[in-house]
Amino acid sequence: MCGLLGILTAQGDAPRFVDTTARALPCMRHRGPDEDGTWNDDDVVFGFNRLSIIDLEHSHQPLQWGPSGEPDRYSMTFNGEIYNYLELREELRAEGYEFATSGDSETIVVGFHHWGSDVVNHLRGMFAFAVWDSVERTMFLARDPFGIKPLFYATTDAGTVFSSEKKSILAMAQDIGLGLGLDDRAIAHYTDLQYVPEPETLHAGVRRLESGCHATLRPGDEVTAVRYFEPTFPVTPVPSGQENALFTRIADALQDSVAKHMRADVTVGSFLSGGIDSTAIASLAKQHNPDLITFTTGFEREGYSEVDVAAESAAAIGVEHVVKVVSPEEFAAAVPKIIWYLDDPVADPALVPLYFVAAEARKHVKVVLSGEGADELFGGYTIYKEPLSLAPFEKVPSPIKKVLRTLGDALPDGVRGKSLLQRGTTPMEERYYGNARSFNYEQLERVLRIARPEWDHREVTAPVYAKSRDMDPVSRMQHLDMFTWLRGDILVKADKITMANSLELRVPFLDRVVFDVARTIPHELKVGNGTTKYALRRALELIVPEHVINRKKLGFPVPLRHWLAGDELYDWARKNIEDSATDHIFDKAQVLAMLDEHRVSMNSGSGPDHSRRLWTVIAFMIWHGIFVEHRITPDIDERDYPVQL
């Protein structure tokens, strides 16, 4: 695990960028406080920050390896973990290869020599890595199938720079001739969706290699991504009477995945909320570590904490349990720091409690497991039930649908049936945009000065929908979420916020073997029997405590709607809006009016809840204050952690 940074120069003048790279490394020291350094030849500079997890005394990076006669042909830097590295080492040894370390990093570069670019299809894990072949003079960049680990890049006349953190690329901007202009389209997408969709970033010159992609480039080349993994759901019906066999396959795949995710030379803990996903992971992890410690967080407000349920689950599975309760004051004070760590804003307030529970966990362990990805793979979001409720509309002739749509639009807001009529008469490609959207276009036009009709959510979702025409409606929604919400929000916050605390987070649900089972589940076993994740719940009946099996998902809920209307965050929000130099982007008068309308609504008990829309705008304004105006300077403390816990 580390933060990687590198530049493939266009003119073969890499030595002049060694100091530039070294100066940019401290921007991501949090990703790897155990060890840092640089390596270069005439074409390439690699930099790294290492968080030592496996083979602590060796497996230093950048790593050099080569076959007999070419001992230093390849150089590699790598962020992530390969969980099947032991099996791959044995497979490669059988082909005659020798290893100098006992870690997973060397497995990648040896595998690259043996399999070429297809090495990515042999890896079970989370990864972003760069391999330089000094003989062929090619750079190979790759990212894991689901997008667990990030990889940013920018190409200028000086060459292509790539990194685990955008802020490290920004720190090199002047020396490599990179412009720092913002991308208005990306800003519009962020404001609409609450996150910046891949491959965009808010800076026009910086992009991300997309999940499930790799790229091969020579000095002077642009990055051209090649997709090697497409998370499709080609479901085949389960034969009658074979459902239990499917449930067993799910349980076996999870057992195997968690066992491999527990591989480490340091202590591994687990996050634990009150839901089935994290409880399942913790229950399985306990089988491999009897001294497992679990961690949760909450707030001192009724209905916004799973602390009690998590504690009950921890007692039921017999693990030590640590709780962190977050106050409104702590919440507000941490936001600028968290946004700095994010690189680009993600308007998900659950980031803040995650930051605090990660900080608490890092006092005890160096690695944690978590339940991200279960909803997307197994059908866990309530919205996935929508195709069932809207099924009758599929039989309605188009002319009648138009009449029903007109009727639905004419009904006053809040009238029962209005939303059903509107959604039932709207094609899925237009009505479903993933699990988060802050504004509809009319609302967006009022507050976002740079809004354009062509920049709405369909610009992001249409290419994804085009690939899923042959899937059932539930599978199409899952497929879309894996390209939008999962990698835009869920995995960004999982990586960035835990790494902010030099804590490695592992996600056993997002494993290719688990996915290969999940993609075969028919839709009636995903959202059947009045619940979500039905097949997963059945598979876990003998693994998780009974009180969790059918419990409604909460995650890390935040009382944001109340705080923005009350004394906790109202004044804080108003000041952040008023101080922001973003008048050219947002109509601040409209944003302030929205804040006041929200306050009246919450205090009167009727009216619109603008909390998520407000949070989306305020998070951007704080980001702008940090990265553009340089008006806000977060207090980033340089904590020292022991190498091994």
Query: Any idea which residues carry the catalytic annotation?
Result: 2
Report the number of secondary-structure helices (H) and strands (E) in the chain. 28, 17
Tokens standing for 536? 């997963």
Cβ-in-10-Å burial (0-12, 13-18, 19+) of 265 comes to: middle
- Cα gap 30→443, rounded to integer Å: 38
Q: Could you give the angle at the alpha carbon of 431 between the alpha carbons of 428 and 436, nearest 5°? A: 120
CA quadruple 470, 471, 473, 477: dihedral sign: negative
Eight-class DSSP state of 529 = T
The continuous run of DSSP H or E covering 549 comes out as: helix 546-549
Establish whether 104 is an annotated binding residue: yes
Cβ-in-10-Å burial (0-12, 13-18, 19+) of 277 comes to: buried
Q: Are 84 and 119 in contact (CB under 8 A)?
A: no
- Cα gap 635→629, rounded to integer Å: 16
- Residue 368 phi, psi dihedral angles, 5° rounding: -130, 150
In 3D, which of 27, 42, 51, 262 has the Cα closest to residue 168?
27
- 392: how many CB neighbours lie within 10 A of its CB? 9
**Parallel, antiparallel, or unpaired for β 293-298 and 63-65?**
unpaired
Helix, strand, coil share of the chain (percent; to 5): 45, 15, 40
Q: Are 540 and 276 in contact (CB under 8 A)?
A: yes
What radius of gyration do the chain's Cα atoms show?
Answer: 24
In 3D, which of 80, 223, 57, 50 has the Cα closest to residue 143?
80
Residue 10 CA, distance from chain mean position: 32
Q: Where are the alpha helices (DSSP H) in 99-204?
A: 105-115, 166-171, 173-176, 184-193
- 104: how many CB neighbours lie within 10 A of its CB? 26
Establish whether 583 is an annotated binding residue: no
Q: What is the full DSSP assignment across 16-79?
A: GGHHHHHHHGGGGGGG-BTEEEEEE-SSEEEEEEE---SSTTS--SSEEE--TT-TTSEEEEEE
Establish whether 606 is an annotated binding residue: no
Which residues are within 8 A (CB) of 25 and not within 5 positions of it... i.e. 6 or more apart? 3, 5, 36, 38, 47, 48, 49, 168
- 523: how many CB neighbours lie within 10 A of its CB? 20
Give the torsion through C-alpha atoms of 278, 558, 375, 212, to 10 deg: -100
Question: Binding-site residues for ATP, please?
Answer: 370-371
Question: Binding-site residues for L-glutamine, please?
Answer: 104
Question: Binding-site residues, please?
Answer: 104, 370-371
